[in-house]
Amino acid sequence: MSYSELKEKTKALITANLTELTGYSDYLCMHPEISGKEYESSKKAVTLLEKHGFTVEYPFAGMDTAFKAIHGNQNHKNKVALLAEYDALPGIGHACGHSISGAMSMLAAISLVQCQDELDADIHVIGTPAEETVGTKCEMADRGIFDDYEMAMMVHIDNQSVPVVNMLAMDSYIYTFKGKPAHAAAAPWEGKNAFNGVQLMFHGIDMLRQHVKPDVRMHGIIVNPGDAPNIVPEECSAEIYIRALDRRYLDKVKVMVDDCAKGAAIATQTTYSKEITASPFDNMLRVKTGIDSLYEVFDELNIEVTGDPNQVWGSSDVGNVSFKCPSFQPLLKIANPPIAVHTREMAAIVSAEEGHKAVEKGASIIALQVIKIFSDLEKLKQIRKEFEGITKCTI
């Protein structure tokens, strides 16, 4: 089949299955489950995929709410991983749109499996829970789950549409300061103030900002600041996120932040310990030929590019996947600024008409990107070459 024929065949299947997948997205919005607790959300996804002829491994990769769905005899040269998320945020449900993202990937997969022979590619759906917290794609990447894939992809909703954005590498830590309690009025000289240690660490980080590259982000909160005003705080913690566009530079910044903690402890005569709170997120590698292909897809689908491809968007565990195989995570607009992800306003739009339209558009973006790459051997060869060159320079 030609590209045009594959495109039309897939488009018809997306239309035929759209109602079912928007229904899945709406179900998740009405029954949100936070990271690591997506038992019904993942079960419903698995049941839906099995209905469409997929064989599903569930649980998967040692994770109760992860799954891997495959279709057919797995006898093709290439493999594609379509990533499905489904965790919600505490209090505001699917304000990040993972209900839509998961539905997009599953709809694309259901619509592409009939083209596996023509594309010589097996289409897999990987259910990836807990993106909002520990980022299970990081662990999956570390375990080699994405090593044999030629491509991984998903689409994320936003208040802008853009084929590619900058994803920051990110590390997260708890710095716990310990001091000595004392009566804050009667004998404060007998105490060592752990809260002051945390406070001084934040001041050190603030002073450090002018001496790091512009893409670096350092932000955090104070945890357990004390028990009562008349007791010198014995223990206090700072939860800190550190981000940068390049993993190697982030590793240098981490040492600087550690020095802020070390200096604060010396100055306040306290001690501190450091504990990692989530898997390290890597920055997103860019494969130019694949990105160029996505721009073509946006143009074919009449999706206006409204965002800046060089904008710093945040962090995602898809970044870790991008170090294992060429990976893509474009943004699709469903709301106008100032409405943004992680807000109640966005949560309301996700299950409304714009959210339903996004399921179709996102599935179409994924499907056309897969068809464009795997129906063109020269393009696929170029993507492989570029990816190998990038990873040799970054690892």
What is the full DSSP assignment across 99-144? HHHHHHHHHHHHHHGGGHHHHTEEEEEEE---TTTT-HHHHHHHTT
Helix axes 39-51, 3-30, angle to 10 degrees: 150
Query: Could you tell me if 144 and 190 lie in one domain?
Result: no
* Single residue among 276, 302, 329 that ends a domain in this structure: 276
Domain count of the fold of the chain: 2
Give the mean pLDDT of 23-48: 98
Is residue 325 within 8 Å of residue 146, measured between CB atoms?
Answer: yes
Q: Which of 96-100, 272-276, 306-310 has the lowest mean pLDDT?
A: 306-310
pLDDT at 377 over 90: yes
**Residue 1: predicted pLDDT:** 84
Rounded Cα–Cα distance for residues 82 and 97 (Å): 16
pLDDT at 250 over 80: yes
Domain enclosing residue 249, as ranges:
169-276
* Single residue among 276, 306, 322 that ends a domain in this structure: 276
Q: Which of 113-122, 219-228, 239-248, 386-395 has the lowest mean pLDDT?
A: 386-395
Give the mean pLDDT of 236-247: 97
Q: Which of 336, 280, 278 is nearest to 306 (CA)?
A: 336
Is residue 305 within 8 Å of residue 162, measured between CB atoms?
Answer: yes
Query: Could you tell me if 328 and 366 lie in one domain?
Result: yes
* Distance in Å from the first CA to the final CA of the chain: 39
Rounded Cα–Cα distance for residues 135 and 66 (Å): 12
* Single residue among 239, 255, 276 that ends a domain in this structure: 276
Residue 318, CA atoms < 13 Å, CB-side half-sphere: 30
Query: Could you tell me if 146 and 192 lie in one domain?
Result: no
**Residue 394: predicted pLDDT:** 61
Query: Could you tell me if 123 and 62 lie in one domain?
Result: yes
Query: Could you tell me if 102 and 223 lie in one domain?
Result: no
Distinct helix (H) and strand (E) counts, the chain: 12, 14
pLDDT at 387 over 80: yes
pLDDT at 11 over 60: yes
Phi, psi of 274, deg, nearest 5: -130, 135
User: What are the strands, taking DSSP E only, across the chain?
Assistant: 55-57, 67-70, 78-84, 121-127, 151-153, 156-158, 166-167, 169-178, 217-223, 235-244, 271-276, 312-314, 327-328, 331-333
Query: Could you tell me if 349 and 299 lie in one domain?
Result: yes
What confidence tens digit (pLDDT) does each residue in 158-190 have? 999 999 999 999 999 999 999 999 999 999 999
Residue in the structure block whose two tokens are 């105490």 = 191
Q: What is the CATH number of the domain that holds 271?
A: 3.30.70.360
Type of residue at 24: Y
Query: Could you tell me if 126 and 185 lie in one domain?
Result: no
What confidence tens digit (pLDDT) does each residue in 192-201 have? 999 999 999 9
Query: Could you tell me if 92 and 116 lie in one domain?
Result: yes
Length reported for the chain: 395
Beta-bridged to residue 214, according to DSSP, are none
Residue in the structure block whose two tokens are 């060869």 = 381
Query: Could you tell me if 271 and 291 lie in one domain?
Result: no
For 70, other C-beta atoms within 10 Å of its C-beta total 18
- Its pTM stands at 0.91
pLDDT at 313 over 90: no
DSSP 235: E
